[in-house]
Chain A
């Protein structure tokens, strides 16, 4: 297993062998370790000292179900802190087959290249003919040039313009470039380094084999059985996808509505997972309510949304997108939400950040809540790179500053995902204290059977979840598998030991995740973060969410114990 180090200024590369003990570092634990060790915390995110790290999870490429995720890490232009964002899809699998655990991109340049990697090495090819195109058009050019079987990561026009909302995407198993490392402006960092696309051609390469096939097979069998038998992974996700959340969060008063002004939406039924499924099944054609983004994923939470003629519009329609591009904008029509989602995908921008940015623009009175055409036009401005488009493309916090809006749903500069923190207070703790900024995947607590409206026990719940999420982000396993894994970390340990050939225990896995969090907080502290950054926006403490009847009232001193200052506590 190797790490590839690429200098984009000089268009040169070198390979480094991964030491055996380092094989347990993957995904987030690896991107954060490299950023922590090699990137000056005070550097400019788009400057020559920042690095972009693409890392596979420890189990990515093992062919374990739902374990093909890869992570992008860098200092974030959106938050100014450390960032990791991961996605499913196919690029990680191809990269793993080429024997690569990670790629470290260094340097900057003003023009754009495709970095083509196959068994013979790395080639740098000018990417001028890919520029200015939609993601799907650019993907077609890549497939025509390199063949249908390649994997890739690619930025959109937003990344070319180095916008804070710019993401980086790879293809699902059907070749659609819709699996996004969406958060934190990783596409802008790639753009600053002149990376338009990274292409993986694994032709002529043997598939990866576990070091201890018997141990791996035995643990995999248990894991797969759990995935099949667990109600969440075996039924809820395949039938309704993540959109099943809409009715649950609406009931709990947590569905962000009209720039997080309340937590329930009068049109929630029209944008629910049940309605989504009905529309897809009724229209048929290329649409499907059950779809796997990664080859062999048993959970299959993804979907393909068809238009009235049955032609695929985009994929996947997920809960966060419905929340931020739907109820948060006062839009209660599924076709309209899907169109906004499609535009985000084609431009290559984070759906959460963009939905929040337009929500703040609506709060400012630039357009009315519920104005679908207005929201769509703003996205087209982003695509064109007009001054207005660059403001929206700069993210929610920037929009708030420019238009003098006080109620901006961000933490550390990053927009909240689709849970009002006054109604799901454990997530509020995660938003405030995660090194990543407001991020549901950094410490999800909503699944717990606990009183989410009470301030009690939320810091502990968030702390546990932050460790848990870091484990999955590092292994390359989709977090949705967590309910099937449960507390069986010994099973995960056997899968890892069997696959990479390094003895590891359940405790080792947890300790590694804790170490990763510590390194991330340490980086942020050196970047200038203090406890002042471990807070929600002021109005969430003072103004009641009418749907839940609550404010965010978790004890702030307790909350600080797991934030940036926790790094001092050891």
Chain B
């Protein structure tokens, strides 16, 4: 199946686009397969909701990789 990734990490724009994945993959494993550290290098939304690491991906999911910082 296929998911859409939109990367807002400036130096990982290469990740933006469609990705083919196997069924049953959770979001944490998918993000780590992109060489992006889970809960370290990005905040992740799936279909505009922040999800936990066990969230199972589905066909056509839209994944945003946001920068995980805090304001000052």
Contacts and interface: CB of A to CB of B under 8 A. Distances in A.
- Most A CB atoms within 10 A — which of B38, B39, B45, B71? B71
A292 to B, nearest CB: 13
Interface in A446-461: 446-447, 449-453
Contacts of B39: 449
A357 B59 CA distance: 46
Contacts of A98: none
A417 B71 contact: yes
Nearest to B72: A242
A446 B53 contact: no
B52 A449 contact: yes
B48 to A, nearest CB: 8
Interface in B7-65: 8, 10-11, 37-41, 43-45, 48-53, 64
Contacts of B43: 248, 447, 449
A320 interface: yes
Contacts of B67: 236, 240, 244-245, 247-248, 273
A248 B50 contact: no
B40 A231 contact: yes
Given A247-B8, A252-B45, A274-B10, A446 B66 contact: no
B49 A240 contact: no
Interface in A229-260: 230-232, 235-237, 239-242, 244-245, 247-248, 251-252
A121 to B, nearest CB: 36
A444 B40 contact: no
Contact of A245 (B44, B49, B51, B70): B70
By secondary structure, the A interface counts as helix
Nearest to B64: A251
Contacts of A244: 67, 69
A231 B39 CA distance: 10
Given A451-B50, A451-B51, A480 B70 contact: yes
Given A251-B64, A252-B45, A449-B44, A444 B70 contact: yes
A450 B45 CA distance: 9
A431 interface: no
A168 B41 CA distance: 35
B68 A232 contact: yes
Given A247-B8, A251-B8, A449 B50 contact: yes
Interface residues of B, number: 25
Interface in A362-407: none
B70 A452 contact: no
A193 interface: no
A73 to B, nearest CB: 20
Nearest to B38: A449
Contact of A240 (B10, B50, B51): B10
A320 B72 contact: yes
Interface in A262-282: 273-274
A447 B50 CA distance: 11
A370 B49 CA distance: 30
A529 B49 CA distance: 36
A319 to B, nearest CB: 4
Contact of B71 (A235, A236, A318, A449): A318
Contacts of A251: 8, 45, 48, 64, 66
Contacts of B45: 251-252
Contacts of A320: 71-72
Given A240-B10, A248-B8, A447 B71 contact: no
Contact of A447 (B41, B68, B72): B68
Given A274-B10, A450-B50, A453-B49, A323 B41 contact: no
A479 interface: yes
Contacts of A342: none
Contacts of B11: 235
Given A252-B45, A449-B53, A450-B52, A418 B10 contact: no
Contacts of A446: 70-71
Contacts of B49: 451, 453
Contact of B70 (A239, A274, A447, A453): A447
A162 interface: no
Nearest to A549: B48
A247 B50 contact: no
Contact of A237 (B10, B41, B69): B69
A328 B53 CA distance: 33
A239 B49 CA distance: 27
Nearest to A88: B72
A452 B50 contact: yes
Contacts of A235: 11
Contacts of A241: 72
A239 B67 CA distance: 12
A94 interface: no
Contacts of B40: 230-232, 483
A500 interface: no
A463 interface: no
A235 B41 CA distance: 10
A468 to B, nearest CB: 11
Nearest to A318: B72
24 contacts: A231-B40, A236-B68, A239-B10, A241-B72, A242-B71, A244-B67, A245-B67, A247-B8, A248-B67, A248-B68, A252-B45, A252-B50, A319-B71, A319-B72, A320-B71, A440-B70, A446-B70, A446-B71, A449-B43, A449-B44, A450-B52, A451-B51, A480-B70, A483-B40
Given A232-B40, A245-B70, 9 more contacts: A230-B40, A235-B11, A248-B68, A301-B72, A440-B70, A449-B52, A451-B51, A453-B49, A483-B68
Closest 3 pairs between A and B when the two form their complex, measured CB to CB: A319-B71, A242-B72, A248-B66
